[in-house]
Structure 1
Amino acid sequence: MILSGLKDHENLPDQFLRDRTRWFLWFPALIGFGIALYFALPVEPGLSWLILPGFLAILLVPLRDYPNFGLRLLVGSLFLVTIGFSVGLTRTAIVDAPILQKKQVTELTGRIQEKSTGPKSARFLIGDLNFSEKDNIPPLKYIRLSSRSNFQDITPGQLIRVKAVLLPPPEPAYPGGYDFQRHSYFQSIGAVGYSISSFEVVGHNHNLLTRIQGLSAEMRASIASFVLTQASSENAGFIIAIMTGDKAAIPQSQLDDMRFSGLAHLLAISGMHMGMIGGLIFFAARFLLVLSPYIALYYPVKKIAALIALVGLTGYLFVSGMSVSAVRAFIMIAALFIAICFDRTALSLRMVAIAAVIILSLFPESLVSASFQMSFAAVFALISLYEQVGPRLGQFARSGGAVRRGFAYLSGVALTSLVAGLATAPFALYHFGQVATYSLIANLLAVPVMGLWVMPGVILAFIGYPFELTFPLAIVGSGIDLILWVARETASWPSAVMYLGSFSVFQLIGITFIGLWFIVWRQPVRWFALPMLAVLLLTFLANRSPDVLISESGNLYALKTEAGETYFSTRRADRFEAERWQLVMGKEITEEKPSNLVCDPNGCAYRRHPDVIAFPTTMAGVEMDCARADIIVSRIPAPKECNDARLVIDRFDLWRRGAHSLYFEKDGEIHVETTHGLRGRRPWVPARYRENSESPTKE
């Protein structure tokens, strides 16, 4: 089969034509490529680019009967790519959310939109903001505020006054890292911070529209409060997470266990949760309807059950807070039930492709999120698998007794976990730099408990909540205790987590393209994916981490030692950055100071043949290092006279350009990358970074 796919290259057009019913599956990929192009630009394009899809659409009309198939394919593909580009551009223009430019202390009034309650603190999303004019703060749409004082008395919908410290949303921790400011921009969050006074309630919701908008948040906060008081403290946070989407009450130890065991996906409301809730409601409604012979004979029971499931899913979405990830999961699962209503195949790659097109059209920023990538990778792979294996597995289960059916079910769960794990592994590595070694075993044990025990209990908990019934919480909690035990045990096994590090976005795009090529095509041409994968894997040999990494504050730097280990200058400063840096620097951390790093009260000097890299911490140190060091990295301003060094990075460079990565090439050149040099001039980048996004001089 492989050889035939490679040998019949003369018949490649015929193979593509025989698979023309699957061409539509490439639509979301091409639209996504256009969105990726938009986000990759160093500057924000003008709105005039929006005419490009229209121009190509007009061009496609006379090309319908053109004999050159390749030209039609090229123009059609470009049309879809420009659609994606235009969707990203339009979404950014619609959001148009101002960003706080610098740290400020202010007194503000605003309306509580959302409340996320933890054991000792709470996080609030605050809108309808008003600041003192003297503070000169831009008209922010929303801010995210943490508080440890009187947060128990504050509920969504209240108008409050509070004094707070506000900061711009966090920037990427290293050049090319995850852009938290872009994520916040598309949520219209212009600042984050913490309160330094107690909240004062100065009003309540009276407007009908704001009452409706706050109803979901009020319900989530009320459910969270009910669960915290009625459920066990060991599993209350988990219950709140799968009922309302709020993970703030989950202890850090449980989060670590779930992540290291490969079960963290059970905590976030995703397609799996929507699918379980929708499926349970669908089958329960269908079972109850067929109990009446009259209804079963004269009414379309399956379609009615699908509509009931849709209503239930909509309620679950409403209670979950309607976050982008929850809306994405809802669209994906709702498409399946809508397909049932129109007598279409519910579980098909075409329906998944339609859901992807809808989501990318509404929320193009989802393309760069881990949840979107991993969700659709798993769903595409699983449906492709069961298109071929499902009928045979179903026939095997139906041809025997209970033992055979049980074996078929366990085989299906194991196969599902294996394929989903393999499909999502590249995306998990790219975003988190690690893979859970025993994920297959953990999911094989935990997923059936989640689907057959926990989620039915969640439905009962929703039904019983208005009546303050607590026994459903006990049912859910006992199942969650078992899942937490599985997570704790598998996370404690030797080498439970493999830290393999991240890789480039271009390699991720290559992996995605090769995976789609293999899944979409059914002709022998699909086997071209194997040589493409082999070539791609060779590129991983050229991957390298920075030799020196410096934080935006200058208080932390990391060195790659000759042994390939990473040495951090301190464990006290910039802890979040240090944790994120391990994605690119690796988990081989050494506490022992390298022998070629010498420190004194004025700073440190690192000899890396043939260069001396100085990290002065005092002005006296800067003056001395300017005369003897080749590279100077200073967290204080360097004098203008300091121009004999090959490269100088001082406090102003770090402030303007963010974190710096240094790569030492074999020919002696120094390649420098900066956080804001890679981000460019985009609306989600604060103005001071846009004005100074150029990298320092490269040697």
Structure 2
Amino acid sequence: MASDAKLPDSLPDYPEAGESGLDAALQQGHWRTWRGLSRGLDRIERFLAASGFDRAPWLAVAFGSGVSAWFFLDNKWQWLGLLCCCIALVAGTLASMRSDGRYPYLRQSLIWLPMLVAAGSIVVWSKSALVGATPIDRPVVAQFDAVILEREARPAEQRVRLVLAARNIGGEATAKVRVNLPQEDDRPELAAGAVISLKARLMPPAPPMLPGGYNFARTAWFEGLAATGSVIGPVTINAPSTSGGWLAGIQARLSEHVRERLPGSSGAIAAALASGDRGGIAEDDAQAMRDAGLAHLLSISGLHVSAVIAAAYFLALKLLALWPALALRVRLPLVAAGAGALAGIAYTLLTGAQVPTVRSCLGALLVLVAIAIGREALSLRILAVAAFFVLLAWPESIVGPSFQMSFAAVMTIIALGSSEASRRLLAPREEGMLSRGIRYVVALFATGLAIEIALMPIGLYHFHRAGAYGAFANVIAIPLTTIVSMPLIAIALFLDAAGLGAPAWWAAGKSIDFMLQMAHWVSSRPGAVTVLPAMGRGSFALFVAGGLWLALWTSRMRLLGLVPAAAGALSLVLLQPPDILVSGDGRHVALPQGDGRVIVLRETQSDYVRDNLTELSGSNGNLVPLREWDRARCNRDFCFAEIVRDGTSWTLLLSLGRDRVAERALAAACDRSDIVIADRWLPRSCRPRWLKADRRMLSRTGGIAIDLSTRSVDSVAAREGHHGWWRGRDD
């Protein structure tokens, strides 16, 4: 049928052959924006495809990021906001990106990474709600009955640590508490499972004394501890232990046997290597090992578990190979892997099955599985699987130094070993034994140096100090421990069954003595220890982001990780200590001077207080009482002090006593002061020119750090938010 419709005077330009209609449409009007977006998505997809994007490690990183975000964010509304953002991103990706195979890397990333972030946040939130124990309200002295759950001997501290299930503490029917018992009151009957009656002084688990300090309250929350304290007087045993604790008993007897055969510091370290019991190590030896970068040798971790598993694997492989009939019929590497797994599990149980040891054992078992099925023994994928399962079971470990250091060290080893330079250095070639030995020593030193660089930001963030010569010390200490000391201890224990272990014990003691002497020598060298004030979370996040980027990419794009790492290093160079540090109870005030001295309001014999004041001041421990400072005037009740910062003079009024002071005189003193700090409640008439940090304020904020140049105050409360373990806020 003919149509009367007229054709338009001009026809639109249609795309030529080879040009899609969609591309032509994108040339028109606002569609150009979508064309640009499409090109941007194409670039991202090509980048992911060309840069060696391996999903498994990044999925583990996403899960860990969700766990970390829960700790960083303040309250449940922010946690819910994070979950909503993740869900919205996944839903938006599913709605906007078709599953036609055009952007496979990008589409999977935008779906799975947010899902893993949300999953990590949910896991740690759920565990906090399930295992967290509300701490007691205030310090108490109580008489109560309890069942011993755990027992830990600490001979170096002259005490025994008991974890108890106590009845009628803090209004709870049953509460988990931890108490210290003097060594002279200890008895063999005080074993796990015994029912006892005791009197103890208990207090809530301590929050950080100052911003950036050790957070025992958080650790206690995830361990289910409601209180800690010390035993007063004798302990009555109502019912002896009848079941359980046999493994702990074996561990205790093994530790005692080792210390009997090898007394002194070397015996304490040998006991730690054999049974995981670190209670006998003297503090000066432990500090020397930390400052020399060798502290990882004192705790049963990946190095020790791997050494035991490797020894069992190779022994089983070589011994079974001597049986031709078996070697021809059975795949020996699989059998040897099973023997190594059993040895690793037994060693983990024997040394107490602490979280770091279990984590190391799990990683080593995954390596054995890879060997058994013919896969690469050590790879980022295996490390990612181990990290995922550890975080699934113990999500709180991600904010602790043990998890961060162990996984950072292994990740550094894998990344360095997979680099082209490392492969060229270790590639087999025709050469003499001397040349081969030099190459392996160079590789060992380079690995130690890389690990030291990777672990230094973690040490500075958590401990505010790090050893500078750890790479040199570890080149000697690691082979000495794994190849000499640990095998000699095992041989000595085996020979003790026939009473022939004395020579092996002597040799083991000499090897450990040499390591200790080296630790003390290295830690005493000039510049051996780097001390810095508390590092901010932002600086630490830059180091973490840079390290992950460097380790997880395989192309040259990994070098971009040097940018955030360099920014983090620059922030450390510019880091300055706070001008004033105030403890949460107001009793301890520190004024860092920048020349190594720290002016303190009160002298103290407490190592805990001294360590917090010096470490967070970035000082090596030269404390000077305020009364001896030439810029301070003190009487029995108060001290006046003057601080000059950036050309501005600040007047401080610091409380010393608890005696009653005339309100009018106090108000006049406050009027002449810029800052007032007191461990008492001050009347409203006390109005300093800028800040009043009295008991009323500090009970809400916890410890504070004051920066006078920026007029800013950092507090424990600001870092803890509304998590269950922080009790200083107003609810």
Q: TM-score, normalised by structure 2?
A: 0.85
- In structure 2, the residue matched to 1:141 is 176
C-alpha spacing 1:596/1:47, structure 2 compared with 1 (3 Å): closer
Give 1:315's aligned residue.
Answer: 346
Tell me how far 1:107 sits from its aligned partner: 1.9
Is residue 34–residue 84 contact of structure 1 (8 Å, CA) maintained in 2?
yes
Tell me if the contact between 2:546 and 2:563 (Cα under 8 Å) persists in the aligned partners.
Answer: no
Cα distance change of structure 1 residues 57 and 359 upon mapping to structure 2, 3 Å threshold? farther
Listed one character per residue, the Cα deviations across residues 286-316 of structure 1 (whole Å, up to 9, x for unaligned) are 1111111222222111111111111111111
CA distance in 2: counterparts of 1:458 and 1:562, whole angstroms? 47
Shift of 1:367: 0.5
Report the 3-state secondary structure (helix = DSSP H, G, I; strand = E; otherwise coil) of the residue aligned with 2:264: coil
1:558, 1:30 → 2: CA distance? 40
What's the counterpart of residue 216 of structure 1? 247
Q: Deviations over 1:14-41 (max 9, x none)?
A: 2321345523221221111111110112
Letter in structure 2 aligned against 1:129: A
Are 1:282 and 2:321 counterparts?
no
Deviation at 1:43, TM superposition (A): 2.2
Per the alignment, in what secondary structure is the counterpart of residue 591 of structure 1? strand
The structure with the larger Rg is 2
Given that 2:579 and 2:592 are in contact with CA atoms closer than 8 Å, whether structure 1 keeps it comes out as yes
What code does the residue aligned with 1:126 have?
V
Shift of 1:560: 3.3
Report the alpha carbon displacement of residue 463 of structure 1 after superposing the two structures with TM.
4.6
Matched-pair contact (CA < 8 Å) for 2:545–2:561: no
Check conservation: 1:555, 1:573, Cα contact below 8 A.
no
- Alpha-carbon distance in structure 2 between the residues aligned to 1:276 and 1:377: 19
The amino acid of 1:174's aligned partner reads L
- 1:459 matched to which residue of 2? 490
2:652 maps to what in 1?
A: 613
Residue 674 in structure 1 maps to residue 711 in structure 2:
no
Q: Determine the structure 1 residue equivalent to 2:134.
A: 98
Q: For residues 536-580 of structure 1, what are the alpha-carbon distances to aligned partners after superposition, in whole Å with 9 as ceiling and x for unaligned?
A: 444446533221111123221011347685322233165413312
What residue in structure 1 maps to residue 35 of structure 2? none
2:221 aligned partner, one-letter code: Y
Q: Which runs of 5+ in 2 are unaligned?
A: 1-39
Is 2:726 the partner of 1:685?
yes
Measured at CA, do residues 345 and 262 of structure 1 come closer, stay the same or move farther in structure 2, by a change above 3 Å? same
Map of 1:630 onto structure 2 = 674
What's the counterpart of residue 697 of structure 1? none
Match of 1:695 in 2: none
Q: Which ranges of structure 1 fall in alignment gaps of 5 or more residues?
A: 1-7, 693-699
Tell me which moved more, 579-588 or 482-491: 579-588
State the AA in 1 paired with 2:235. F
Counterpart in 2 of 1:567?
A: 599
% identical equivalent positions: 25
Measured in 2, the distance between the counterparts of 1:81 and 1:660 equals 32
Q: Which residue of 2 aligns with 1:4?
A: none
Which of 625, 632, 649 pairs up with 1:597? 632
Match of 1:257 in 2: 288
SS in 2 for 1:546: coil
Contact 2:191 2:241 in 1 (8 A): no
- CA distances 1:95-120 after superposition (whole Å, capped 9, x unpaired): 13232222111123223322223146
Give the drift of 1:138: 6.3
Q: Hey, what's the Cα distance between the residues in 2 that align with 1:234 and 1:564?
A: 31
Q: Which residue matches 1:5?
A: none
Q: Which has the higher contact order (CA 8 A, sep 6+)?
A: 1
User: Equivalences for 1:475-624 in 2 at 5 Å?
Assistant: 475-540=507-572, 543-561=575-593, 565-572=597-604, 575-587=607-619, 589=622, 591=624, 593-608=628-643, 609-618=648-657, 619-620=660-661, 622-624=666-668
Q: Which moved more, 1:338-347 or 1:112-121?
A: 112-121
Alignment-mate amino acid for residue 281 of structure 2: I
TM-score normalised by length of structure 1: 0.89
**Segment drifting more, 565-574 vs 284-293:** 565-574
What is the identity, as a one-letter code, of the residue corresponding to 1:151? Answer: D
1:556–1:574 Cα contact (<8 Å) kept:
no
Quick one: distance in 1 between partners of 2:468 and 2:82?
A: 46
Q: Which amino acid aligns with 1:611?
A: W
* 1:68 to partner: Cα distance: 5.5
Question: Corresponding residue for 2:36?
Answer: none
Q: 1:364 — aligned with what?
A: 395
CA deviations over 1:419-468 (Å, ceiling 9, x no partner)? 21111111111112222222222112211111111121343356567777
Native 8 Å contact 1:111 1:158 kept in 2: yes
In structure 1, distance between residues paired with 2:200 and 2:466: 39
Taking the TM superposition and a 5 Å limit, the aligned residue runs for 1:292-303 are: 292-303=323-334
Specify whether residues 379 and 605 from structure 1 end up closer, same or farther in structure 2 by C-alpha distance, changes over 3 A only: same
Paired letter, 2:72: A
Q: Secondary structure at the match of 1:42?
A: coil
Q: Cα distance, 1:250 vs. partner?
A: 0.7
CA gap 1:358/1:427 in 2 versus in 1, 3 angstroms: same
Q: What is the deviation of 1:470?
A: 4.3
Single out whichever of 113-122 and 300-309 deviates more from structure 2: 113-122
- Does the Cα contact within 8 Å between 2:540 and 2:568 map onto a contact in 1? no
Give me the whole-angstrom Cα distance separating, in 2, the residues matched to 1:547 and 1:599.
Answer: 20
- Going from structure 1 to structure 2, the CA distance change for 1:665 and 1:501 (only over 3 Å counts) comes to closer
From 204, 219, 222, the counterpart of 1:168: 204
Structure 1 residue 469, shift from structure 2 partner:
6.7
Residue 36 in structure 1 maps to residue 75 in structure 2: no
1:270 corresponds to 2:301: yes
Tell me if 1:107 matches 2:146. no
Secondary structure of 2:413's counterpart equals: helix
CA contact (8 A) 2:596 2:619 kept: no
The count of aligned residue pairs is 672
> How much has 1:644 moved relative to structure 2?
5.5
CA contact (8 A) 1:100 1:137 kept: no
Of 214, 239, 243, the match for 1:203:
239
Q: CA deviation at 1:522?
A: 2.0
Q: CA separation in 1, counterparts of 2:406 and 2:78?
A: 32
2:163 to 112, 116, 126: 126
Distance 1:282 1:258 in 2: 30
Q: Which amino acid aligns with 1:275?
A: S
Q: Secondary structure at the match of 2:578?
A: coil
Partner residue, 1:3 = none
Q: Which residue in 2 is equivalent to 1:116?
A: 153
Q: Contact conserved, 1:98 with 1:140, CA < 8 A, in 2?
A: no
State how far apart, in whole Å, the 1-side matches of 2:77 and 2:610 are: 34
Aligned CA RMSD, in angstroms, stands at 3.0
1:123-174 CA-partner distances (Å, limit 9, x unpaired): 3232332247xx6356312424342332143333322222111111221021
Asked if 2 retains the 8 angstrom alpha-carbon contact of 1:382 and 1:420, the reply is: yes
Structure 1 residues 195 and 55: alpha-carbon distance in aligned structure 2, compared to 1, 3 A threshold: same
Which range moves more in the overlay, 517-526 or 614-623? 614-623
Is residue 336 of structure 2 the alignment partner of residue 305 of structure 1? yes
SS of structure 1 residue aligned to 2:184 = coil
Retained in 2: the 8 A contact 1:313–1:330?
yes
Amino acid at match of 1:164: A
- Kept in 1, the 8 Å contact 2:212–2:535? The answer is no
Question: 1:187 corresponds to which letter in structure 2?
Answer: E
Question: Could you tell me how far apart the structure 2 residues matched to 1:262 and 1:525 are?
Answer: 31
| Matched letter for residue 520 of structure 1 | L
SS of alignment partner, residue 605 of structure 1: strand
Contact 1:149 1:198 in 2 (8 A): no
Q: What letter matches 1:455 in structure 2?
A: M
Q: Are residue 651 (structure 1) and residue 695 (structure 2) matched? A: yes
Cα offsets for 1:46-68 (capped at 9, x unmatched)? 99889867887777777571645
Preserved CA contact (<8 Å) 2:194 2:242: no
CA distance in 2 between counterparts of 1:383 and 1:64 reads 36
Alignment match, 2:50: 18
Question: In the alignment, what sits opposite 1:324?
Answer: 355
User: Residue 624 of structure 2: SS of its match in structure 1?
Assistant: coil
Secondary structure, counterpart of 1:431 in structure 2: helix
CA contact (8 A) 2:445 2:475 kept: yes
CA distance in 2, matches of 1:574, 1:548: 20
